[in-house]
Each structure stands twice: as C-alpha cells, then as structure tokens.
Amino acid sequence: PVPETGRPADLVKRDFSADALNELWVADWTYVRTAAGWVYVAFVLDVCSRMIIGWQRSTRMYTDLARDALNMALFNRKRHGHCVKGMKHHSYRGIQYRALRYAQTLQNAQDVASVGPKAILAIMRWPKC
C-alpha cells in the first residue's frame, strides 16, 4: 500500500473561482480507451485561466502519475517567474492525491492542499482572467 496523509479540509467548498493566476489549482485524472488499450492522463489546471499547466500520461495508473503532473505545473509556473507559494491546490479524495509523496511535493512548494468529496471539472465556469 502507498503511505497516505490524512484528508485535508475542503477549502474550496464547490466555489471554483479565482481572481488571479496561481490562486487556485485543481487536479484530476481520466482515462480513455484507445486502439492500443487504456491511456491514463493526470492534469493540473489553473482555475483563473482554465489552462492545463501540468499533465502526464501513461498506459498504466500509478500513484506518481498525478505527482508528475503536479511537478510539471510547478516547473512551468516557476520557469516563467510565477510565485506559487500559498496557492490552494484542490483535488478529490483519490489515493493519488493523498499519497505521502504528493503531499510532500505540495509542502515543499509551500502550497495548501484542499480535498473535496466529488469530481471537480464538471462544475467549473468560464474564466474571469
């Protein structure tokens, strides 16, 4: 089993809005059947811009798939000079997002984790930014 953290509070409370970049990120994953088999995709989206800022894909679902997408998002934003310290990071309560290594990645970036009870992207509105 993958070591996991306790469940963080839901800081978003289904209000998926942000007035500035890097204020709120959401993370999720999906899978698609292709001619070659299943493909899994994890992604991180900036709520203000509605841009996918980090993603990773694989032919198998593994815990670090989500963390790899998070690392890409952190790298992309820092590379362009954005400060992500204190940013809220929201996900549903899947094991990928409660894994100890995922939590440590957020902690190292000085970001705040938030976990909600349900799927995320289906209820988001068009961006303000």
Amino acid symbol at 72: M
For residue range 117-129, list pLDDT tens digits in order: 655 444 445 555 5
Q: Is 119 a domain residue?
A: yes
Domain CATH code at residue 64: 3.30.420.10
Average predicted confidence (pLDDT) for the chain: 81
Q: Is 47 a domain residue?
A: yes
Res 127: pLDDT: 54
Antiparallel, parallel or unpaired: β 24-34 and 37-46: antiparallel
Tell me how many domains the chain contains.
1
For residue range 51-66, list pLDDT tens digits in order: 999 999 999 988 899 9
pTM score above 0.75? yes
CB 111 within 8 A of CB 84: yes
Q: Is 9 a domain residue?
A: no
Which structural domain, as residue segments, surrounds residue 33? 24-123
Q: Is 17 a domain residue?
A: no
Q: Is 42 a domain residue?
A: yes
Q: Is 3 a domain residue?
A: no
HSE-CB for 61 with a 13 A CA cutoff? 14
For residue range 72-89, list pLDDT tens digits in order: 999 998 888 888 888 888
